[in-house]
Amino acid sequence: MKENHSASSKKVDKTSLIQKFRGNVKYQKYLFVYTCLLLPILFFLGIRILPTLFTFNVGFRDWNLLATGAKPFIGLQNYQALIQDKVFIKSAVNTLIYIVIGVSGQLFFGIIVALLLHKINRFVGFFRVIYFIPYVTSIVAISWVFQWILMKNGIINDLLIKIGLSPQPFLNSPDQAIYVIIGAMIWQALGFQMVLFLAGLENIPKMLYEAAEIDGASPWQKFWHVTVPLLNPTIVFSAVIGSINFIQVSFTQVINMSSDGTGGPLNSTMTVVVYIYQLAFRKFDMGLASAATVLLFLFILALTLFQMKVLTRKFDY
Amino acid sequence: MKLGKILTYLALILGSIIMLFPFVWMVSTSLKSPIDIFSLDIIPENITFSNYIKVMEESLFAKWFVNSLIIATVTTISVAFFDTLVGYIIAKFSFVGRGVLFILILSTLMVPTEMLIIPWYMMSSDFGWTDSYWGILFPGLMTGFGVFLMRQFMEQIPDDLLNAARIDGMNEFMIFFKIAIPQVWPALAALSIFTFLGNWNAFLWPLIVIESEALRTLPVGLSFFSSGEAESQWHLIMTGSTIAVIPLILVFILLQRHIISGITLTGMK
């Protein structure tokens, strides 16, 4: 249509045509931008932002789903109740244990496997696939597989007896269960970290190692003074993502691996998220549960900032 | 070969055994008859597929599988489309409210999903969304992470390329589909794969929002299946787990190049 127009009236001023074209493009752009953003804006406001604010509000109220009528504002009472609640404190401490041991375990084994894979030149793809497989499988299914192989008369205890050790209670023991779950989580997520570190290692220029060798650096010094500083961005990313994943994924693992299905034995594997779930959907105390989610939010925020600060510190080259 | 290399391979093989053993034992148990499940043979003496028939006949396993497939597929399509579109608009257009919108979306990244479960649950019951596909779907239809990721990649597209298409008379939608999307294809593939995996494995929200047995997703179904009716029937639990896990492993082996380059890509951004 535009071509017809310009062809039929050659005498029309060129500049006004260009202006018209520009105006047309601009109009189209705005139409495009605002039509396309309509749904996303509604979504992010209605399903993310407002619910977040709503949670803060509920956390200050006595809000039980079973009780009808008023939901009075009670200030910080929910928060006070939580701080004095032994199960909540236990779940908070456990969450910290999950993160500290789980994330450092993941990073440690991820780096080890990546370094091993970096050293070889055959079957790299093959090994990478094998180590990565647990990451893509169903967490619930794998949780039950772990229960099965770790049960009292399961295959692992049988092997322990065969090599002359005593059988262990594993998930039935208040002392062992949390570490068994952390172990399963490390096993599952290690492949993800491995891929990240392998990519990081491949990005380090060989020249730097050669230079270090000329200076007479030992393999350990090369690792500590060349590899670690240059992998630092990857380590920060892995630690931050890993911690947030641990908090979320631990719900699925704990519910499906605990001997009683709710964070036992004796709350020894309970996490904050599992406790929030119980408060909200077993006891229907939405006020208390919301206050707990606010504390979780503040905790995650603080943790992320802390990790960024500690892990991005300057290294001496 | 040098000794160091041999030791490296040995360590990797030992690690591989640890990574694969739970799967081997799972499949092995699923092929054993109930009398044999406590035998410790890795290859069962009498291989039987009766557990598979039993699981399919006596539970809604096939239904749960289909539910998960539908939920994960719809969510992935929605996230891939909207996150890419919004990422593109924020990266390539200047308009009133762009900064505010970007900060708004970024701020949702800070809030953990767990914090939103309670308001989502109340919303669902007020609007009658509980116990429906829509109820499971609605919170995940767009993600802040995806928008952020796609924006990073869209920013690298040269403006001249887009303007050239405009001068050729292409409309904005065609420019988005035909010019912008092909430029960010690897990132889009990565986002799609991870969205699919994440939703396939989603547990907390479907557990809360679904009441009827027929609407459970595979993880929720499997969880009840294992803790309830089939308790101590380990051959059936392992059969269910095999059905839940094997398709994922097969898909992964097919797509592994994309998945691995996707992680690398997102990790480097």
CA proximity to A241, closest of A311, A293, A177, A295 = A311
Question: Taking a C-beta distance cutoff of 8 angstroms, is the pair A56, A289 a contact?
Answer: no
Residue percentage of chain B with pLDDT more than 90: 64
Q: Report the alpha-carbon distance of residue B232 to residue A302 in Å, rounded.
A: 43
A40 touches B at CB < 8 Å: yes
Out of B19, B93, B245, the one facing A130 most closely (by C-beta) is B19
Output the pLDDT for position A2. 46
- A247 in contact with B at a CB cutoff of 8 Å? yes
- Locate the chain A residue with the closest alpha carbon to B1: A120
* Alpha-carbon span B101 to B95, nearest angstrom: 10
Residue B268: pLDDT band by 50, 70, 90 thresholds?
A: low
Nearest by CB to residue A116, choosing from B12, B176, B218, is: B12
Smallest CA–CA separation between A144 and chain B, in Å? 8
pLDDT band (50, 70, 90) for residue B176 = very high
Check A252 against B259: CB less than 8 A apart.
no
Separation between Cα atoms, residue B13 and residue A127, nearest integer Å: 8
- Higher-pLDDT residue of B16 and B264 is B16
Q: Which two tokens stand for residue A284?
A: 């229907």
Name the residue among A173, A77, A184, A106 with its Cα closest to residue A140.
A184
| Lookup result for tokens 């990081």 | A200
pLDDT number for residue B231: 55
Partners of A276 on chain B (C-beta within 8 Å) are: 114, 117
Residues in Cβ contact with B246 at an 8 Å cutoff, skipping those fewer than 6 apart: B27
pLDDT of residue A234: 83
- At residue A213, does pLDDT exceed 90? no
Q: Which candidate from A37, A47, A137 shows the least CB-CB separation from B89?
A: A37
B228, pLDDT greater than 70: no
- CA A9 to CA A4: how far, in whole Å? 9
- What pLDDT score was predicted for residue B230? 53
A119 to chain B, minimum CA–CA distance in Å?
Answer: 8
Q: Which residue has the higher pLDDT, A271 or A233?
A: A271
Contact criterion met (CB < 8 Å) for B89 and A33: yes
Residues 6+ apart with CB under 8 A from B47: B31
Asked whether the beta carbons of residue A248 and residue B113 sit closer than 8 angstroms, the reply is yes
Q: Cα(A27)–Cα(A46) distance, rounded to whole angstroms? A: 28
Q: What is the pLDDT of residues A181-207, one digit of tens each?
A: 999 999 999 999 999 899 889 888 888
- Chain A contact set for B89 (CB, 8 A): 32-33, 36-37
B-chain residue closest to A202, CA distance: B264
Q: Pull the structure tokens for residue B198.
A: 């994440």
Chain B: nearest CA to A128, how far in angstroms?
9
- Mean pLDDT, to the nearest integer, of A61-78? 88
- Residue B152 and residue B159: Cα distance in Å, rounded? 14
Distance in Å, alpha carbon of B252 to nearest chain A alpha carbon: 7
CB atoms within 10 A of CB B233: 18
| H-assigned helices in A123-260 | 124-136, 139-150, 155-162, 177-202, 206-214, 219-222, 228-257
Please give the average per-residue pLDDT across B3-11, as a whole number.
Answer: 91
φ, ψ for residue A211, nearest 5 deg: -60, -45
Q: State whether residue A48 sits within 8 Å of chain B by CB.
A: yes
- What is the per-residue pLDDT for B224? 87
Predicted pLDDT of residue A6: 47
- Cα angle A289, A182, A236; round to 5: 85
Of B208, B26, B51, nearest to A144 by C-alpha is B26
Nearest to B37 by CA among B234, B256, B215, B227: B234
Query: How many C-beta atoms surround the C-beta of residue A253 within 10 A?
Result: 26
What per-residue confidence (pLDDT) applies to B65?
Answer: 93
Could B25 and A155 be called an inter-chain contact, meaning their C-beta atoms sit closer than 8 Å? yes
CA distance A212 to A209: 5
Residue B2 neighbours by CB distance under 10 Å: 7
Q: Do A52 and B115 touch (CB under 8 A)?
A: yes
**pLDDT on residue A76:** 94
**Under a CB-based contact definition with an 8 Å cutoff, are residues B203 and B43 in contact?**
no
Q: Which two tokens stand for residue B248?
A: 């994922």
- Asked if pLDDT for residue B256 goes beyond 90, the answer is no
| A124 touching chain B per CB within 8 A | no
- What is the pLDDT at residue A230? 85
Count CB neighbours of B204 within 10 A.
21
Identify the pLDDT of residue B269.
52
Q: What are phi and psi of A207, to 5 degrees?
A: -50, -40
Residues B89, A36: C-beta atoms closer than 8 Å: yes
A90-124 pLDDT per residue, tens: 999 999 999 999 999 999 999 999 999 998 988 99
**Tokens standing for residue B139:** 């919170």
Residues B49, A51: Cα–Cα separation, whole Å: 48
Does the distance separating the beta carbons of B19 and A131 come in below 8 Å? yes
In which element (H, E) is residue B196 found? Answer: helix B185-201
Mean pLDDT, chain B, rounded, equals: 90
Kindly indicate the confidence band of residue B261, based on its pLDDT and cuts at 50, 70 and 90: confident
Q: Which of A144, A149, A300 sits opposite B112 (nearest CB)?
A: A300
Mean pLDDT of B24-46: 87
Averaged over A129-156, what is the pLDDT? 92
pLDDT > 70: percent of chain A? 95
Joined together, the tokens standing for residue A81 give 């109740």
Contact B118, A280 (CB under 8 A): yes
Instruction: Give the pLDDT score at A1.
Output: 43
Residues of A in contact with B169 (CB under 8 A): 2
Q: Reply yes or no: is the peptide bond before residue A265 cis, omega within 30 of 0.
A: yes
Secondary structure letter of residue A137 according to DSSP: S
Q: Which pLDDT score, from 0 to 100, does residue B146 have?
A: 94
Q: What secondary structure letter does DSSP report for B39?
A: S
Residues from chain A that touch B20, judged by Cβ atoms under 8 A, are 130, 133
Contact B12 A30 (CB under 8 A): no
Q: Kindly state whether A113 is in contact with chain B, defined as any CB-CB distance less than 8 angstroms.
A: yes
| pLDDT score recorded for residue A317 | 44
Average pLDDT over residues A245-265: 85
DSSP of A74-122: -TTHHHHHHHH-HHHHHHHHHHHHHHHHHHHHHHHHHHHHHHHHHH--S
* A171 inside 8 A of chain B by CB: no
Which stretch, A16-30, A43-57, B41-55, B229-243, has highest mean pLDDT? A43-57
Neighbours of B98 (CB within 10 A): 15
**In the structure, what pLDDT confidence band is assigned to residue A278 with cuts at 50, 70 and 90?**
very high
Residue in A28, A244, A256 nearest the CB of B223: A256
Min Cα–Cα distance to chain B from A54, Å: 7
The full length of chain A comes to: 317
Q: What is the 3-state secondary structure (H, E, C) of A219-243?
A: HHHHHHHHHHHHHHHHHHHHHHHHH
pLDDT at A277: 94
